[in-house]
Amino acid sequence: MLLPIIDNALASTTARSGDWLACKPGCHQCCVGVFPISQLDAENLRIALAAADPITAGHILTRAHAARARLTRDFPGNPVTGELFTEPHHEAAFDEFANDEPCPVLNPITGTCDLYAARPVQCRTFGPPLRNEDDGLAVCELCFVGAPESEVLRCEMDQNWRPLEEILIAEAEQRTHLEGPTLIAFALTNSQVVAP
């Protein structure tokens, strides 16, 4: 329900952006360095992993368990549940946390996402101009290089879907009994949640 709406908004901004967008299969700079995902994204990834072919799923889980092991020691949250920011100082610690850690769903051979259809919202919306509360209009550093500000503004992604996303995140948190953001490695290896 939500993902097709986001994908339509992405298709619109992609069409307007044309050659200003550097995003293409194999370009995966944005897949290195951890970032928070919602419990809705975590649930979608677990469902996709359960439906993946066994060989691909095995590779993803091997990478996810290895990533979780590397990330656990300094995890800015609860390393058992994978919930981020459970203490006030965790958000500041996250700024310098695991910036060189590749996403466990990133296929290291092809440079593409092994669960692309279920990729989190942040993965779907990174690249084109996207307005956020903190930084105004943000864009991938590889995209819109040399573009005038008017061109960036013209290509801004519509985010009318955000209220629906908030509702669906709340529902996912009720289903999973996990609250707040997590990381992909923890979402895929969380033994406290049974994949549907």
Q: What's 75-104 look like in SS3?
A: CCEECCCCEECCCCCHHHHHCCCCCCCECC
Residue 155 lies in a domain: yes
> CB of 26 within 8 A of CB of 111?
yes
CA pair distance 12, 20, nearest whole angstrom:
14
- pLDDT tens by residue, 126-162: 989 999 877 788 889 999 999 999 999 999 999 999 9
Residue 194 — φ and ψ, nearest 5°? -90, 125
User: At a CB cut-off of 8 Å and minimum separation 6, what does 145 contact?
Assistant: 20, 22
Q: Where are the alpha helices (DSSP H) in the chain?
A: 2-17, 39-51, 54-72, 90-94, 121-125, 149-154, 162-176, 184-189
What is the chain's alpha carbon radius of gyration, rounded to the nearest angstrom? 17
- Residues spanned by the domain of 107: 2-189
Residue 194 lies in a domain: no
| pLDDT at residue 24, rounded to an integer | 85
Show pLDDT as tens, one digit a residue, over the chain (196 residues): 899 999 999 999 999 999 999 888 888 999 999 999 999 999 999 999 999 999 999 999 999 999 999 999 999 999 999 999 999 999 999 999 999 999 999 999 999 999 999 999 999 999 899 998 777 888 899 999 999 999 999 999 999 999 999 999 999 999 999 999 999 999 999 866 654 4
Residue 57 lies in a domain: yes
> CB of 35 within 8 A of CB of 122?
yes
Residue 195 lies in a domain: no
Residue 196 lies in a domain: no
Residue 98 lies in a domain: yes
Residue 10 lies in a domain: yes
The number of domains in the chain is 1
Structure tokens at 57: 């799923």
Structure tokens at 105: 């769903």
Residue 14 lies in a domain: yes
| pLDDT at residue 134, rounded to an integer | 74
| pLDDT at residue 196, rounded to an integer | 47
